[in-house]
Chains A and B, each alone.
Chain A
Amino acid sequence: MLNIRRIPIPALVGLVLTALFLFAAIFAPLIAPYGNGQIVGSVWEPASADYLLGTDNLGRDLLSRMIYGARITIFIAVMATALSFSLGAILGFTAAVLGGWFDTLMSRFVDLLMAIPTLIFGLVVLSVLPSTLVTLIMVMGLLDSTRVYRLSRAVAVDINVMDFVEAAKLRGEGTIWIIFREILPNALSPLISELGLRFIYAVLFLSALSFLGLGVQPPDADWGGMVKENKDGIVFGIPAALIPAAAIAALAISVNLVADWILNRTTSLKGGRG
């Protein structure tokens, strides 16, 4: 059913890059030439046969750090996106189907959260709470879920007034069935494109937090943290900070390309059969 030659080139590029990042993230300990925190040479060595991307501000192999960084970055971003999606979508759909006080209460609460700039809110919360992976994921997921809530509620409100939902209500179906079997499949395409976008925002948000020192704590580092570690080198013409920055950009673009393609495929109402 899936013919590789039918995939448009941008999607193919996105798929290959995303797969590469995922591969690096999953098999990091197997493919990294050196350990994550292992000091192997002098500070900021240029690229060579031994150190393909050179070394960082403490003399650690940059390529190995990048590979481990991919693991941390993608893991946190995926978890946060998953959290924000399940939370936002379920609450949004429920609000749309139930309506009434539940809808009003949830929507106003979400408005309240959204009124505070996400980064500042994140900074305040994270500087109070202990910086562990779990808190980081929870905070990112919760903050992002407000956006997902908004979108899914808006989409579901439109679908909820369709005759087939009324027919299901007349049949006597429960709220759970209506949400997951009637509304969710029809809300999937806007949600999937949003999923791609949200994942990217999670990566960017995490990078920003780490760059500010509130994200992943040393000696572990995500890509944002690596930009922070190596940023002083830029003054001396050392490109070590640009490599993780470029990786963030590449990941963002490639995931978006894939999301676009998936969106195009799922909007067909004929089960992709044409």
Chain B
Amino acid sequence: MAGTEPKPELLLDIRKLRIEATVFPPGEAPKNIVLVHDVSLSLKRGKVLGLIGESGAGKSTIGLSAMGYGRGGVRITGGEVVLNGRDIMKAGKRGIRRLRGKEVCYVAQSAAAAFNPAHKLMDQVIEASLEHGTGTRAQAEKRAIELFRKLSLPDPENIGERYPHQVSGGQLQRVMTAMALCSEPDLIVFDEPTTALDVTTQIDVLAAIKDAIRDTGVAALYITHDLAVVAQVSDEIMVLRHGRLVEWGGTQQIIKEPRQEYTNALVSVHEITHDEQSPGEAPFLSVKNVTAAYGTGGPKVLKDVSVDIYPGQTLAVVGESGSGKSTLARAITGLLPPEKGTVTFDGRPLANRLADRPKEDLRQLQMIYQMADVAMNPRQTVGTIIGRPLEFYFNMRGAERDRRIAELLDKIEMGKGFSDRYPAELSGGQKQRVCIARSLAAKPKLIICDEVTSALDPLVANGILKLLLGLQKEEQVAYLFITHDLATVKSIADSIAVMYRGEVVRYGPKSKVLAPPFDDYTDLLLSSVPEMEIGWLEKAIKGRRMESAGN
């Protein structure tokens, strides 16, 4: 259809879209729930619209409806999806098949899971073009190589010969963008393309996507939950919540002068004030020159790491994936006995192996995990989960235990009624709160928080952070806060350790670590955190001194 008739200026026009799904609650009759309530949107040729909202807001569902697709039994039950001047809902199966991969393409969140591991990248990139007959194989490959170059992939001529497992996550996400662009579609749906990546890699991918969109003049729906990211690439932003439109406007307007309360909450989500505490006289836990590796003779995951934790304060450990931050936690807890070095606690060395530590030491060190839903036994009620440490460490039983459980539930801002619920009956934020209560129950001196907010929506994560800070004041507990999110670090840390490839490259009080002069890696890390500001991306890319490790 290219060139035969003038294309309408309005590329995509979704009118009063209604999407429903049938749920099957056990023991009840199946019932319909409405996921998207009569949402309308329109997109002009060559423009980028950002769809933003927390999980369950219906943003992916709306995005996929642009290609007439309903995921997992979801049905489009009302409204029109007009693409290039015709309603694709009326096109039938064949019509939709003709348009997918040719007029609309899709970039999935997890490229590693979306590529077929058994085929070479090039075959997958040009598949859609060949399928739709938009060119010969040689033409398609030529275009793919050009796109690889445009997306600044290394060795663009030959990267197509590799298999998906032979390139890094960030590169794979760019190859996927090339795949979407290869058949020269009018519209691309980006579904959280950078969410699973490290900040330092995210910035590269984001820049590549932005350039590619500009150069090819393709329109895009950009779905994400991170407002700062979407501000970099989109012309307009649409805020969604519970399948309803909250606010829709130009990027500038949304991030500078949001009109709705919910949007405002999203914009100001990272604003937590926390005054840095000066380190006390003596640390109660110090890690000295710890070196650790998985298996004997394997590569060293931790190299000569030393950090101190002061009572009632927060040490944040930052770094990208593979930098050894979680391994540090495992070494401190004794799950991975270090090869060299010691961990001292209250002035005496802590046994290296978990099995050699007395119960009292175990009680003092508690841990909260990233994925709250697998950190709790799904067959135990909240009461049992929180109550077990009480029984185990303090020998509390019966009414005394129940009273303390109620107290703890109160502390995490959940009611007493939750005590006989199962984890599956809680929301993501509530699950994490229960995990916090479980570790608090032991009255520890130190809680290790391993990426506790990274699986949560921004607003929920914000609530958790505030809760953690409040509890720190009340209980005088120290945190070892492992994260890759610098915005979190800025808001809660007292001191910071920056890790890179198993080494601590920068360590000290927050104000010192976050003040220039920076070493190269800290500079890269700091400059990669998206800021809620138009034009940040270009500035950040220009100012960089070091390539990210993902390249």
Q: Which residues of A pack against B, CB within 8 Å?
A: 6, 162-164, 166-167, 169-173, 181-182, 185-186, 268-272, 274
Asked whether B542 is an interface residue with its Cβ less than 8 Å from the other chain, the reply is no
Which of B335, B362, B376 meets A171, CB within 8 Å?
B362
Asked if B26 and A162 sit within 8 Å, CB to CB, the answer is no
Asked whether B2 is an interface residue with its Cβ less than 8 Å from the other chain, the reply is no
A185-B377, A185-B379 are contacts. A163–B371 as well, Cβ < 8 Å?
yes
Which of B27, B28, B335, B381 meets A170, CB within 8 Å?
B335
List of A residues within 8 angstroms of B465 by Cβ: none
Asked whether B374 is an interface residue with its Cβ less than 8 Å from the other chain, the reply is yes
What is the CA–CA distance of A6 and B392 in the complex, to the nearest angstrom?
Answer: 41
List of A residues within 8 angstroms of B379 by Cβ: 185-186, 269
List of A residues within 8 angstroms of B354 by Cβ: 169-170
**Min CB distance, B24 to chain A, in Å?**
10
**Min CB distance, B547 to chain A, in Å?**
34
In the complex, which residue of chain B has the Cβ closest to the Cβ of A1? B27
In the complex, which residue of chain A has the Cβ closest to the Cβ of B385? A164
- 4 tightest A-B contacts by CB? A185-B379, A269-B424, A163-B375, A172-B362
A163-B371, A170-B367, A171-B389 are contacts. A186–B378 as well, Cβ < 8 Å?
yes
Q: Which residues of B pack against A, CB within 8 Å?
A: 25-28, 333, 335, 354, 357, 359, 362-363, 365-367, 369, 371, 374-381, 388-389, 392, 422-425, 438, 442
Interface centre among B367, B379, B389, B442, by most A CB within 10 Å? Answer: B379
Asked if A272 and B26 sit within 8 Å, CB to CB, the answer is yes
**Min CB distance, B513 to chain A, in Å?**
29
Asked if A163 and B26 sit within 8 Å, CB to CB, the answer is no
What is the CA–CA distance of A66 and B438 in the complex, to the nearest angstrom?
Answer: 57
A172-B392, A173-B392 are contacts. A167–B27 as well, Cβ < 8 Å?
no
Asked if A164 and B375 sit within 8 Å, CB to CB, the answer is yes
Which of A6, A163, A164 meets B27, CB within 8 Å?
A6
**Min CB distance, B282 to chain A, in Å?**
25
A167-B367, A274-B26 are contacts. A162–B362 as well, Cβ < 8 Å?
no
In the complex, which residue of chain B has the Cβ closest to the Cβ of A188? B379
List of B residues within 8 angstroms of A274 by Cβ: 25-28
List of A residues within 8 angstroms of B425 by Cβ: 270
**Min CB distance, B530 to chain A, in Å?**
29
List of A residues within 8 angstroms of B438 by Cβ: 167
In the complex, which residue of chain B has the Cβ closest to the Cβ of A186? B379
In the complex, which residue of chain A has the Cβ closest to the Cβ of B357? A172
A171-B389, A271-B422 are contacts. A166–B335 as well, Cβ < 8 Å?
yes
List of A residues within 8 angstroms of B424 by Cβ: 269-270
Interface centre among B26, B362, B377, B388, by most A CB within 10 Å? Answer: B377
Asked if A182 and B377 sit within 8 Å, CB to CB, the answer is yes
**Min CB distance, A74 to chain B, in Å?**
30
What is the CA–CA distance of A181 and B389 in the complex, to the nearest angstrom?
Answer: 14
**Min CB distance, B433 to chain A, in Å?**
15
List of A residues within 8 angstroms of B363 by Cβ: 172
